[in-house]
Amino acid sequence: MYTEYRIQNMDDPKIPQKLFAPRVRMAPSPTGFFHIGNARTALFNYLFARKTGGKFILRIEDTDKLRSKKVYEDKILNGLRWLGLDWDEGPEKEGDGDFGPYRQSQRLDIYAKYLQQLLDENKAYYCFCSQEELEAQKQDIVSRGLPPKYSGKCRNLSELTVNQYLEDKKPKVIRIKMPKTSIKFNDLIRGEIEFNLDLIGDIVIAKSLKEPLYNFAAVIDDYLMKITHIIRGEDHISNTPKQIIIQEALALPRPIYAHLPMILGPDRAKLSKRHGAMALTDYRKLGYLPEAVNNFLALLGWHPYGEEEIMSLEELINRFELEKVQKGGAIFNLQKLNWFNAQYLKKLPSDKVFTYFSDYLSNYAPKKDFLRPDADYLRKILEIELSRINKFSDFFKTSDFFFKKTIDYPKALLSWKEGTDSEIKQALTDAYSILEQINEEDFNRVNLQSKFYAFIESNPAYQGNRGKLLWPLRVALSGQKDSPGPFEIAEVLGKKESLKRVKKAIELV
Euclidean distance between CA atoms 339 and 331, whole angstroms: 15
Distance in angstroms (rounded) separating the CA atoms of residues 246 and 278: 34
Could you give the CA distance from residue 493 to residue 407 in angstroms, rounded to a whole number?
13
Amino acid at 207: K
CA-based nearest residue to 80, from 293, 338, 259, 227: 293
The answer to whether residues 114 and 252 touch, using CB atoms and an 8 Å cutoff, is no
C-alpha angle with apex 137: 153 to 196, nearest 5 degrees?
A: 75
Please, is 62 exposed, middle or buried when counting C-beta atoms within 10 Å of its C-beta (0-12, 13-18, 19+)? buried
The bridge status of strand 173-176 relative to strand 124-127 is antiparallel
Helix (H), strand (E), coil (C) string for 136-172: HHHHHHHHCCCCCCCCCCCCCCCHHHHHHHHHCCCCC
Q: Which amino acid is at 168?
A: D
Tell me the Ramachandran region of residue 201: left when phi exceeds 0, alpha when psi lies from -120 to 50, beta otherwise.
Answer: left
Degrees to nearest 5, angle at CA 49 with 44 and 55: 130
Beta-bridged to residue 196, according to DSSP, are 182
Q: Are 21 and 49 in contact (CB under 8 A)?
A: no
How buried is residue 463: exposed, middle or buried, by Cβ count under 10 Å (0-12/13-18/19+)?
exposed
Q: Give phi and psi for 349, each to the nearest 5.
A: -55, 145
- d(Cα 345, Cα 368) in Å, to the nearest integer? 23
- Rounded-to-integer distance, Cα 184 and Cα 447, Å: 74
**Helix, strand, or coil here: 83?**
helix
Angle 198-202-206 from CA coordinates, rounded to 5°? 150
367 in catalytic set: no
From the candidates 169, 273, 367, 481, give the one annotated as an active-site residue.
273
Residue (of 307, 305, 309, 330) closest to 319 by Cα position: 305
What is the pairing mode between strands 18-20 and 5-7?
antiparallel
Axis-axis angle for helices 36-52, 290-298 (nearest 10): 80
List, by residue number, the catalytic residues. Answer: 273
